[in-house]
Chains A and B, each alone.
Chain A
Amino acid sequence: MTAFLSSINYSAWIVPVLLLLPAFGAVGLLAHARLSAGDAADKRWREARLLALAFFVAEAILSLGLWWSVDPAVAGWQAAVDLPWIPQWGIRFTVGLDGISMTLVLLTTLLMPLVILGSWTSIRSKVHSYYALLMLLTVGMLGVFVSLDLVLFYVMWEIMLVPMYLIIGVWGGERRLYASLKFFIYTMVGSLLMLVAILYLGSEASRVLGSPTFSYDFILNNVRLDPTTTLWLFGAFALAFAVKVPMFPFHTWLPDAHVEAPTAGSVILAAIMLKMGTFGFIRFALPLFPSAAMNPAVRTFMVTLAVIGIVYGALVALVQPDFKKLVAYSSVSHLGFVMLGIFALTVESMQGALMVTINHGVSTGALFLLIGMIYERRHTRMIADYGGIAKVVPIFATILTIVCLSSIGVPGTNGFIGEFLVLVGSYKTQPLATIIAATSVVFAAAYMLWALQRIIYNPMTKPENEGLKDLNWREIGLMVPLLIAILWLGVYPKPLLDKTEPAARRLVESVQTAAARTPARATNGAR
């Protein structure tokens, strides 16, 4: 495989192609919308979704080669491309991958076809725009993961926002306008401070270099800031990422956005977009500002927020009447684990955080897909409207149970590996926080199983549910890869862990050594 990939010079072109293909796809869809304007609505709809699926499948297949071509043990960036973009300001199109971003890119590209299949029949209005926006969104998401130029990163970061805003606002539920606006403004406000920080970093870097630059590598290796500035810049970055993660108390956009978004929107939000926040911490906030990240006060603060998020998310999820909202709050809880793992800063916890990142993408994505499927049949998300449906939809019930168990973190599923690694690693540096976080295993079981019971178990009291039809082959087919991922990652996570291990280790070590290089005043400043 590796030989074949190098024979076609795969790593030289793959990243730009991955970014361009969905962009072309969007254009292609809009062209199709123009060309087929006279056709019957039904025919246009069918053609549009097929076209979209074809593009995303092509994207997924193309991206698969990354698994082999990216060698995690190599220290530098791989599949890197560096082109001038806006030379006057030193902004370059610099992209590249390491083990961490490679897994996230694969998560994105592999999930997107499933997302398309998940909204195969549910989206019938303005389909061309819908799929075009999804493609644009993919460009943004992949761009964030691969960018190695701060301005490019920021542009990609903001590109994501617009399609998602429109997807929620146009195809969403009843309160979609409120939710989409809230989502947009919340995230935007968070990222503006990051823009300021990026510009500051750029100017500092340009001062050092003598010509303008925003290169991540250059800033990482050459820009040395005084502790107070570092703290401020870290804060600006952290705010942007914390909103996206979302960390308590910046999480309130999430339940609204999740609930109102169409299925595809919810899945992408939960599975990929939330990961932008944690990825941002891993790629930017920690390595660029190690002294701030290692500052005991900052660390305690972040870990406290993470732990509050874990327990608080679980407790609030416990009492949600709306299943989507419940899952949204459970995301707050799960992402808290990621943050705990990141700021505990041990190799184990960092690896665990990455595992939870992937796992949450798989399990919560699957949960939202399932909710979408049952919503399409019953047009309600209220837990109280169901009950006893395992009798009529056994396939759905079985899959839902497995996915819920994965979300709870039952051993044998992927959820356990992530949570266990985070906790076992975090205990070394943050014992108290870890113990408090571990209580969420109880709450997680409580909210998930209680909801599961009220949906698929118990007596069937609602006559509307008696005619429910089980999942069809398309829906089963799209869940199967997710179920395989759940079990595979739970039983044999080693291949994935191997891919991220060197990068995680380098990160932890570099942050610790870099922080050791700039001691003293950082801690004083924060006290």
Chain B
Amino acid sequence: MMIPAMTPEGAHPLATTVARLVWLLPLLPLLGFLINGTLAMLGVAKVGPADPSAGHDEHAHAAHTGGHDDHAHHAPTRHKFAGIVSLIGPGVLIAAFGLAVACFLAMRGVEMEHPYIVTLYQWMPVGDLNLAATFQLDQLSMVMVLVVTGVGTLIHVFSVGYMQEDPGYPRYFAYLNLFIFFMLILVLGGNYPLLFVGWEGVGLCSYLLIGFWFSEKANADAGKKAFIVNRIGDFGFLVAMFLMFANLGALDFGNVAAKAAELPMGGVMATTICLFLFLGCAGKSAQIPLYVWLPDAMAGPTPVSALIHAATMVTAGVYLIARSATLFSMAPTAQLVVALVGGLTAFFAATIGLKQWDIKKVLAYSTVSQLGYMFVAVGVGAYVAGIFHLVTHAFFKALLFLGSGSVIYAMHAAYHATHKHDDAQDMRNMGGLRKFMPVTFYLMWIATLAIAGIPFFSGFFSKDEILGSVFARAHGSTLADASLLGVPGGTILMLIYGLGLASALMTAIYMTRMMLYTFHGPNRTGEAERPHLAEAPWIMTGPLVVLGALSLVGGWLNVPALLGAIGPVGVLDHWLEPVVGEAALRTTLGAAPHMTHETELMLVGVAIAIATAGIAFAVWRLKPAALVAKKDAVAPQGIDRILENKYFVDEGYDKGIVQPTLDVSRVVLWKGLDTGIIDGLFVNGSALLARAIGWMGSQLQTGQVGTYAWVLLIGVITLLGAFTFR
């Protein structure tokens, strides 16, 4: 590996610290991927015979008929490479996390005005485009690196237990390591194209991991859907990059920000770039209208849902907007769009979450909803609040997913023990699990209270900061002065605030509902299965405990001034100030957002009231005891039916976009235009024409010499006539 050349940034204070090894960060998981991937191939591959065209081998036939229904959880034994994979998979992550922490400490030790940029090599030096593979280490990417490697490590450890009996064990860790590699490229990349490499790379890993159990069509479908929907977003990202290159003449973060600041405030160019960037974010971070892939992505193994589809990858959009803060701060209209879409998504997904029965689907819609909050935050220019919520959400949502994974693991084990085939993820088949898995139970309640926004749990701080920021920017900001489709920005911000409150209420309700149905009331799993329900092993509950602790104290990262009594105020604010501070100030017209103490207190009060009310309402209204198991449940009616079926959006997309595209392609373009008009009419048509003329000519040929003589003579006469009479 080449040691980065001495670039002008070589004089950077970090250059002499451990941070110069930043290129090692993504390399570690890549190494893990290579080793695990090789092991995975060695485990399954059986090289074919030299001559493949020889007839089918009967032995091979017999050997594979048995392997037909070896669904992951039914496989009896551990993989033969399980030991070494369990060492390397999480091992590289731990090493990476250690390095990240070391970098973090190094960073705290120096005074950093500019980001630390490490140039690895010239990547695409073409024409005016002088793209290098550079890593940019600054406060923002440091936060992300810590979250990715930290939460990633925990989830890797959890996976060792969760996936231990899966025949694809090495493959799983290979994918997971690859994901971390790309995620680190995403957050460390020093220019938009390199970020895009990570951006698509994580999408690829998401695709591979969602479809991890590819023998079931639904899983493979979900993976494909995720990738394709993400690609719609990526299209936006690409166009945004083209616009940047053509109009700003650069693609690296520093120059883009510098050039963006020179653009006219609220101009068309900045707005267009931002909107296209946001399309990319909407795809990756599952915002309306591209959120549909995320619930389906739950087809993957549950730790994957925790890592990729809750804690890290889906928040990449938030990171991207924070990263492009300068650009966005020049385009208030685009910011309003971001915030409004975020608010609508938060609200919309929360309503769906109210009526889901699959425990992971509830969490999936909850994730979509929380991502909406983050976009509200970065939309209104409260970048720190967005990143703050990103971090706390990573803690409590990873905990929730891993907890649900633990539940599903127990359910599976129970069903497996009695050879019963039922839905291990449906809450109607659970109930009363607190008795069987108390650790999971308590930890998940912590996470639930955190996400609901009960005071002093982590989610309370971050969510409160978001709502407060929205409220504060309704007056005296570039947003309030801008307007969207004629509606003044202030009005829209108040609407978003309302949506945020409503979503908070619903969040509290559906999360309580999930907890009640899963852990409280009588058990509905089945008489035979009940004795087999048990807590997961410590390798799985261990990470849960760590995440539980983080969910509890995560809020202390950024304590608001109002609660200054309980700890240091605004740590994250200060930390991120060099990166996003200027942009945030531009949105708030140069002044820190100012609210009176009373207003602030009132806002906090409202938020607390709403969270408590939601939980109380759920406890009062829902009767876990009255619930019946899934197989006995009756189909819902009316609004319940619409909610349970997610507003029929998937069906709508299918009928409205997917099928018409396929039909038009098949009937009009392929059969009609391609084989019909171009090939049939023009190509084969001209051949047919030539043949027809030839046929007509052949009809003249009678074989009668006499006839030929006549024709000849007529020709002679005509020619002579032409000479004579000209």
* Chain A directly contacts chain B within the complex, with at least one CB pair under 8 Å: yes
Stretch at the interface among B64-72, B545-553, B556-564: B64-72
| B242 touches which of A398, A434, A457 (Cβ 8 Å) | A434
Cα–Cα distance between A494 and B683 once the two chains are bound (Å): 42
List A contacts of B682 (CB < 8 A).
249
Chain B minimum-CB-distance residue to A317: B665
- Check if A377 sits within 8 Å of B53, measured CB to CB: yes
Interface residues of B in 101-129 (CB under 8 A from A): 121-129
List B contacts of A186 (CB < 8 A).
683
| B224 touches which of A312, A376, A450 (Cβ 8 Å) | A450
- Check if B200 sits within 8 Å of A411, measured CB to CB: yes
Given the known inter-chain contacts A318-B661, A421-B129, A458-B217, please indicate yes or no for A445 contacting B228, CB distance below 8 A: yes
- Check if A457 sits within 8 Å of B47, measured CB to CB: no
- Check if A394 sits within 8 Å of B662, measured CB to CB: no
Chain B interface size, as a band, is: 35 or more
Given the known inter-chain contacts A319-B670, A467-B57, please indicate yes or no for A497 contacting B201, CB distance below 8 A: no
B220 CB within 8 Å of chain A: yes
B647 CB within 8 Å of chain A: no
User: What mask results when residues 202 to 234 of chain B are scored 1 for a CB within 8 Å of chain A, else 0?
Assistant: 001001000100111100110110011001101
User: What mask results when residues 666 to 697 of chain B are scored 1 for a CB within 8 Å of chain A, else 0?
Assistant: 10011001110011001100010000000000
List B contacts of A466 (CB < 8 A).
61, 64-65, 68
- Check if A445 sits within 8 Å of B221, measured CB to CB: no
| A459 touches which of B65, B125, B215, B242 (Cβ 8 Å) | B215
B726 CB within 8 Å of chain A: no
B704 to chain A, nearest CB (A): 34
B197 CB within 8 Å of chain A: yes
B421 CB within 8 Å of chain A: no
Given the known inter-chain contacts A411-B200, A445-B227, please indicate yes or no for A395 contacting B47, CB distance below 8 A: yes
A223 CB within 8 Å of chain B: no
List A contacts of B664 (CB < 8 A).
315
A98 CB within 8 Å of chain B: no
Interface residues of A in 466-483 (CB under 8 A from B): 466-476
| B683 touches which of A182, A318, A398, A456 (Cβ 8 Å) | A182
- Check if A252 sits within 8 Å of B239, measured CB to CB: no
For A182, A348, A449, A501, which residue has the most chain B Cβ atoms within 10 angstroms? A449
Interface residues of B in 228-278 (CB under 8 A from A): 228, 231-232, 234-235, 238-239, 241-243, 245-246
List B contacts of A164 (CB < 8 A).
none
Cα–Cα distance between A185 and B687 once the two chains are bound (Å): 10
- Check if A473 sits within 8 Å of B215, measured CB to CB: no
Cα–Cα distance between A475 and B48 once the two chains are bound (Å): 9
Given the known inter-chain contacts A441-B235, A458-B220, please indicate yes or no for A470 contacting B61, CB distance below 8 A: no
Chain B minimum-CB-distance residue to A253: B683
User: What mask results when residues 251 to 279 of chain A are scored 1 for a CB within 8 Å of chain B, else 0?
Assistant: 11100000000000000000000000000
B44 CB within 8 Å of chain A: yes
Stretch at the interface among A154-162, A283-291, A384-392, A519-527: A384-392
Interface residues of B in 366-380 (CB under 8 A from A): none
B671 to chain A, nearest CB (A): 9
| A373 touches which of B52, B217, B224, B666 (Cβ 8 Å) | B52
A359 to chain B, nearest CB (A): 13
List B contacts of A450 (CB < 8 A).
224
- Check if A318 sits within 8 Å of B53, measured CB to CB: no
- Check if A494 sits within 8 Å of B123, measured CB to CB: yes
Interface residues of A in 317-339 (CB under 8 A from B): 318-320
A218 CB within 8 Å of chain B: no
Chain B minimum-CB-distance residue to A459: B215
B49 CB within 8 Å of chain A: yes
Given the known inter-chain contacts A394-B45, A434-B242, please indicate yes or no for A252 contacting B679, CB distance below 8 A: yes
Interface of A is mostly: helix
B621 CB within 8 Å of chain A: no
- Check if B46 sits within 8 Å of A470, measured CB to CB: yes
Given the known inter-chain contacts A411-B197, A442-B231, A494-B122, please indicate yes or no for A252 contacting B48, CB distance below 8 A: no
List A contacts of B204 (CB < 8 A).
405, 410
Given the known inter-chain contacts A122-B53, A316-B670, A411-B196, please indicate yes or no for A394 contacting B238, CB distance below 8 A: no
Interface residues of A in 452-510 (CB under 8 A from B): 453, 456-460, 466-476, 492-494, 497-498, 501, 505
Chain B minimum-CB-distance residue to A450: B224
List B contacts of A216 (CB < 8 A).
none
B193 CB within 8 Å of chain A: yes
List B contacts of A312 (CB < 8 A).
669, 673
- Check if A410 sits within 8 Å of B121, measured CB to CB: no
Cα–Cα distance between A429 and B200 once the two chains are bound (Å): 27
B56 CB within 8 Å of chain A: yes
Given the known inter-chain contacts A348-B128, A458-B215, please indicate yes or no for A469 contacting B60, CB distance below 8 A: yes
Q: Which B residues lie at the A interface, using CB under 8 A?
A: 41, 44-53, 56-58, 60-61, 64-65, 67-68, 121-129, 193, 196-201, 204, 207, 211, 214-217, 220-221, 223-224, 227-228, 231-232, 234-235, 238-239, 241-243, 245-246, 661-662, 664-666, 669-670, 673-675, 678-679, 682-683, 687
Q: Which A residues lie at the B interface, using CB under 8 A?
A: 121-122, 182, 185-186, 249, 251-253, 312, 315-316, 318-320, 346-348, 351-352, 373, 376-377, 388, 390-395, 398, 405, 410-412, 416-417, 420-421, 423-425, 427-428, 431, 434-435, 438-439, 441-442, 445-446, 449-450, 453, 456-460, 466-476, 492-494, 497-498, 501, 505
22 A–B contact pairs at CB < 8 A? A312-B673, A315-B669, A316-B665, A316-B669, A318-B665, A347-B127, A377-B52, A398-B41, A411-B193, A411-B198, A424-B129, A427-B242, A435-B242, A441-B235, A445-B227, A446-B231, A453-B223, A457-B211, A460-B68, A469-B57, A470-B48, A494-B121
